[in-house]
Structure 1
Amino acid sequence: MFSLRKLSSKISLIVALLVLGVIVAISSIILIQVRRTALNDSKSYGREIANAYSKDIINKLNASAQSTLAMSSYMECSKINKNVPREEAIETLKRYLEKNNYLDGLYVVFEPNAYDGKDSAYINKVGHDSTGRFITYLSKGESSVTVEAITDYDDTSEENYYQIAKTTKKPFLMEPIKYEAGGKVSWITAVVVPIFDEDGNFIGITGGDISLDSFQKMIVEAKPLNGYASLVTDKGSVMAQGQLQDSVGKKLHEVLGTFGQADKAEKIVKGIIENKRVEYESNGSISIFTPIHIKGIEGQWGFGAYIPKESIYKGYNDILKGIIIISFVVIVISIILVFLVTKKIVKPIELSSRYMKRMGEADFTEYIPDALINRVDEIGVLGKSLLQMKENTRDTLNSFQKESNNVHDFANKAIQGINTLTTNIENVSAITQELSANIEQTAASAQEMSSSSMEVEKEVEEVATKIEEGNNLALEITVRAAKLKNEFMEAIKEGERIISETSGKLAEALDESKEVSKIQMLSESIMEITEQTNLLALNAAIEAARAGESGRGFAVVAEEIRKLAESSKGTVGEIQDITNKVTTSVQKLVDSSNSMLEFLNENVSVDYGKMIKAAQQYNKDAEVFAKISNGFTKSTEKILESIKETNSLVDGIASAATEGAMGTSDVANKVMDVLNEAENVKDICGQVVRSSEEISSSISKFKV
């Protein structure tokens, strides 16, 4: 019976798990390699499929492009020669289209009168419209080629094929469009080639239509590893789609959105434009897009192969199933073989465990067979060890019994000694408690002394602080007195300098004021001149009167001179009055200046001297006060140091007393602890006695 409690079952399970681990590890490595190989092979196959179909599409497009280019060259030559009528050109195009297997339609569109200048002659004729322009479209029918006028050439939008060719002047592949020709509507693309005249001017286009039905058929038939394919343009338009066949003409991001891959559209279009292969993985498939480019033709396509992952990993899944089945069979066989081998190996161990169980039940009388002891492997070592353990245990139990009796006797003696020790300890405890009480009283007294000393110390510190403040104030007063003295000295010097300068300037001003008296003298001279002028004018008037009529003019001059003399006399009189006033004011100023100089010399200088003496005395008093304050400070510091030392001693006494009290209390506590421990030891000894009795009782249960 299989049970995890048995050693054989456990060994079988462990081996099975190891085998399973090895199989899983090897299988994982193989499966990872197979999966990687399958993925790489599928990608390689997808690339080969994409390349093969791309080449087929390129060949078809290239043939269509060459056919259209040939017709474009023919139309250019016809235009240049000017001897090919339109009917003949249309017939040539018709025959060419009938023989061509790549084009489903062919058309030419010329600028107005650009072909032969005869548009007016072809109004509403076959292959022309009401404008008469050469705009003929030929399309293959079921049995013949239909000729009609093209209808959408005059669309002026930038996306119009005619406008694109006219603007770029390069051949290009047209985006897919729906077009009705011959009564049939179908999706087509076209190779559009511009036509130029002999001067290189754009004059029209030639276009070769290619039905997308042939591409759609090719794409539907392409099933890479049961997947599907698609054909898109560099503008993101779907040309053909193998799974969603009605998506032709739609934008790629719309179609991919159906599969939850809309975000991949931009990446695919970018790869087509840059002529690079695009590969990506989605949840259900691997997608490979190969660019398709026709040399000399603008516009690129891309062939996409979508390979489902279930096809990629089909071989991988088959291998996985095989590995699981093989692993299960190998594990089952391994468990059976290991169980049988293990059972044979473990049987002696089970026998040994049975003997161990009997020993565990205190029965050492069981006989251990020689077959187990005489084995040369680990089982034999186990048998010998069991035999030795049996004998050693028996000897040990006998020794235990003997020592247990000895312990019982020793424990009884220890109890008697502990009783005597307990009595002595109780006496010591009482004495220690009395000593502790006395020391505590001493500590309390020391604490009171310490508190009083602290209060005295605080008071002295406050006095010291006040004295220190007074000392600082004395220093400030000394500094201020010295500063005031210096300021007085500087003020005296400045005052003496100002008095000296002022005295000099006043003296100069007094000397200059004497010049005012010269004004008086000058005015008197002018007065004398005025009087003489007046006399001369009078004499002149007399002489003019004597001269009669001839002296009349001179008389007028003499009269004017006399008036001027009179006026000058009046002015000089006013000047003399003003000069007298100025002289009086100057004299007063001189008297005031002399009085001020006398005051400065006699009073101000004396006051400055007194102020200097007061400042000097103030400075000396401040220095004396500072010395006294310093003396107070030093004395206070000494007192404070003495008080602190006293406090320190008192604190030491209090601390020592406290520590002594605590120590004594600790001693008392320790004595009590010792007493308690003695009681505990006594109890333990009692327990030892009881334990020795129990050991003896237990040993008696063993069968030896």
Structure 2
Amino acid sequence: MRRRTRKLSIKMKILLSTSFMMVCLFLVLGVSFYKSMERNMIAMGVEQAQVAAKVAVGKVDASVADLQPGDEETENYERLLYSLREAKSTCNMAYLYTLSTDGSQVFYGIDTDETDARNAIGDVFEYPYEELRPVFEGEMYVQDYIDSTEDGDLITVYIPVLDGKNRVAAVLGSDYDASEIVERLNRIRLWMIQISIIGVLIALVVIHLIIRTITSSLWKVNQKIYELVNSEGDLTQKLQVRTGDEMELMADNVNALLKYIREIMLHISDDSNKLNESTKIVFGNLTSAGENVMEVSSTMEQMSAAMEESTATLNQIGESVGEVYTNINYIAEKAETGNHLTKDIKEKAQKIYDYAEEAQDNAHTVVMRLADSVNEKIKKSKSVGEINRLTEDIISITGQTNLLALNASIEAARAGEAGKGFAVVADEIGKLASTSANTASQIKQISAAVIGAVEGLALEAEKMLQCMEETAMEGYRKLLSTSQGYREDAENIHGMMENFAEDSERLEQAINDMKDALQSVSTAVEENARGVVNVSEVSAQLTESMRDIEKRADLNKKIGEQLAAEVGKFKLE
């Protein structure tokens, strides 16, 4: 519901102020006009009273001064009284009388009053001599105002009566009847009041019409603003005010403001829709990315387990190499023992000298070839073995991770400011995946080389055993069977055993190198395992970050929906 104004409205304020000003204006004008009319009419009445007094004084002669108390019945008195009463009637006088003085008091002479209150000759006048001294000295006194008394509204004139020598014989007092003037002034005052009231009413009506025109325009502006404030605004409408004054200018400015607000609302509406669509896309991509990160985390866990298995396998290989090393030591010891024994059978081995020499040469050739082959394979055994399949899996996963990081970077760029944190995480994942791919490729190469070396070593070891089985053991059997006849060849066998001991030492050194290589490979595998664990931890952190981004994206979605709802309260098209 629309709230009413708590104080006076603009219309009422203007009406009250203008009413007060109009009342004051008409009051001032009325009073001024009335005072002017009053002055003019009083002046006219004074002039008439003065003229009437002059006319009346022409009816009196100096004989009036000779009247004494009791002369009311004399002919002179009657004549003068008749003349004065005629002048009184003709000149509209209320009272007309003559006055005389003894120098200290003033006395009535002839009083034209026809009532019982008429003063007789010699009655004392109510005003002292001092007030009338100038008149008795020859000056005429004319009252310049209307004196409202119980006897009526009067203008008093005192005019001296002169004798033949221009001496003051008496004073003629005239009270001019100004009741008509007062009545006319009262009518004028009443007319002025009526005219003022009518003028105020007409002015109020005119002002009301003017204010109504102004306030109607203000009401239109206020109505539009009220509709906007209370979510009922139609921004497509315009104020139709054609008054040609400031109100039309105000309405045009309000229309311009409404147009500007409408354009802003349209932009906000479009942007909120785009924000909602973008938020939906980001939300969906975050969900997909979260699933992919979960898959990467699962794969990293599998890789970690595979690395642990590889480490265990390498440990087993190390143990096997240790056993081989022990056996080689045992063989070396046996060779040393055989060297001593050959001294005892030197005489018995003479007969098989030629055969033993040939067998020695063959065995020497085979052993040298085996030694060279083993040394060559040992040099290659510094890479990791049996992790080729795992490195291929790592390369495949890092490829998928690179693709996921690229997609995440693209989506983060689309998200703008809100996706900066996600872009940094995606970039770090991409770098980590690239590093993992390079490391996995190196591991793959090393493991392939080690696998080849181990396979070659196994093959050559097999050949060496076969050679020993076919050559040395057969020679030993022949040597045992012909030991009685080949005593002279024992010395050659002794030399062969010395060579065999030397070869055993070289083989022991090669095994030591293989142990070092296996240790390096094991260390590399452990480092890779730690790297996989770090990747898993980063994936977990990435998952948590994506969840936080997902929450913020959902919050942005809600904000966009609220913004669209607020904009939807306005009619824009």
Same fold per TM (> 0.5)?
A: no
So what's the TM-score if we normalise by structure 2? 0.37
Higher relative contact order (CA 8 A, sep 6+): 2
